[in-house]
Amino acid sequence: MRPAPRSTFGTRIPCCLALLTVPLVGCGASASPQALPSSFDDPPAAVRPVGEVDPATMTPATLEVGTEKGLARALVARFLEALAARDEQALLDCLGDVVFQVSPYISLRTRAKADLVSAWLEAFERRGRYTAIRRGTDIADVEALTIEPLGAAVIGTTLPSGLDATDLLVTLPLSPDGERAVRALFGWTTGRMVIRLAPTPRIVGI
């Protein structure tokens, strides 16, 4: 009777392991600080002077970009600049598809953003020449606005369907000229708006 064939299992595994360890050792030996992504060594972006507006984003240089408050402030700054410039497309880009009326109080009334922007631009055509609005900063001081979760601001109140407790309620301190202008042009009595940050920051109440 022939002897049973010798198993090669025990001899092949070490060879495979040896082959596998070669590239791993090689990778470990070649690692060096120079191999890290270049972004680790890139210098920080230049800081703009306080008060200067970034032309790429139309936002003040002091904004806390990357934070909830910073994102909200950046959106408000873009909105005010677009409003002062009568820039229809920029205004549309700042708004959600449906916008709730939240001034002077949160209501069930909504308007499609296209209708809302059209009404604003018509108001500017009729009465805009009588206002002192030339820049967003003529309307309000974005740096002084306050922000809080909508749910915390309306405790005990049921929010309309379409608004979330995680939305942000923004209170905007209007300048004297800005307050007179927005009251005459749009009927606003307070500088309040509601912002939703996800998936893209948009104004969903004003």
pLDDT digits (tens, 9 = 90+) for 71-122: 999 999 999 999 999 999 999 999 999 999 998 888 899 999 999 999 999 9
Quote the distance between the C-alpha of residue 168 and its chain's center: 11
Residue 66 maps to a domain: yes
Residue 41 maps to a domain: no
CATH of the domain at 74: 3.10.450
Residue 37 maps to a domain: no
Percent of the chain with pLDDT over 90: 40
Number of structural domains, the chain? 1
Residue 91 maps to a domain: yes
Pairing of strands 202-205, 110-112: unpaired
96 vs 136, higher pLDDT? 96
Range of the domain at 166: 59-205
Q: What angle do CA 139, 95, 171 make, to 5 degrees?
A: 45
Q: pTM, whole model, 2 decimals?
A: 0.66
Helix axes 176-186, 113-127, angle to 10 degrees: 110
What is the spatial distance between Cα 181 and Cα 177, in angstroms, rounded to a whole number? 6
What is the spatial distance between Cα 114 and Cα 176, in angstroms, rounded to a whole number? 28
User: Is the model's pLDDT at 70 over the cut of 70?
Assistant: yes
